[in-house]
């Protein structure tokens, strides 16, 4: 777990910075800034719109007495997409837009459901009990 967090908080930003430097030297400083600001605005708008639709779907499911687990997972993934799209970088933008596309989001949902099921089958807990 520590290795994953180390990668997430150190390696990804370093890779992002180097990519932005390369992009800036290839197309210029201001176009690179406009791309970053544009993807942030577009990503936040798309995440807000899709989040609204998922919120409505969750409300409809609850009104008829069903637990909207699939839609709740979609909502979490859309929230993650919005957060990573507002952070500067090309890799995070790609990942964020991938989470906003329903087809690829469904792939992430299946993967997450598999992880949840695997943990349940193993009987593991995310945090050990302390007595």
pLDDT of residue 124: 58
pLDDT of residue 125: 59
pLDDT of residue 63: 92
The answer on pLDDT for 131 being more than 80 is no
pTM above 0.85, yes or no: no
Determine the Cα–Cα distance for residues 42 and 21; give it in Å rounded to an integer: 22
The answer on pLDDT for 130 being more than 90 is no
Q: What percent of the chain has a predicted confidence (pLDDT) above 70?
A: 94
Ordered DSSP codes for 58-122: HHHHHHTT---HHHHHHHHHHHHHHHHHHSS-HHHHHHHHHHHSHHHHHHHHHHHHHHHHHHHHH
pLDDT of residue 128: 59
- Work out the average pLDDT over 9-35: 94
The answer on pLDDT for 129 being more than 60 is no
Determine the Cα–Cα distance for residues 23 and 11; give it in Å rounded to an integer: 18
């Amino acid at each position: 777990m520590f290795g994953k967090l180390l990668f997430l908080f150190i390696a990804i930003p370093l890779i992002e910075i180097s990519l932005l430097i390369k992009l800036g030297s290839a197309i210029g400083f201001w176009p690179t800034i406009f791309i970053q600001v544009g993807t942030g605005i577009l990503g936040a708008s798309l995440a807000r719109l899709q989040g609204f639709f998922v919120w409505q779907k969750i409300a409809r499911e609850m009104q008829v007495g069903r637990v909207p687990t699939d839609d709740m997972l979609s909502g979490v993934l859309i929230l993650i997409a919005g957060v990573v799209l507002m952070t500067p970088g090309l890799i995070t933008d790609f990942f964020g837009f991938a989470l906003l596309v329903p087809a690829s989001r469904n792939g992430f949902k299946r993967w997450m459901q598999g992880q949840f099921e695997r943990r349940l089958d193993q009987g593991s807990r995310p945090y050990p009990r302390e007595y």
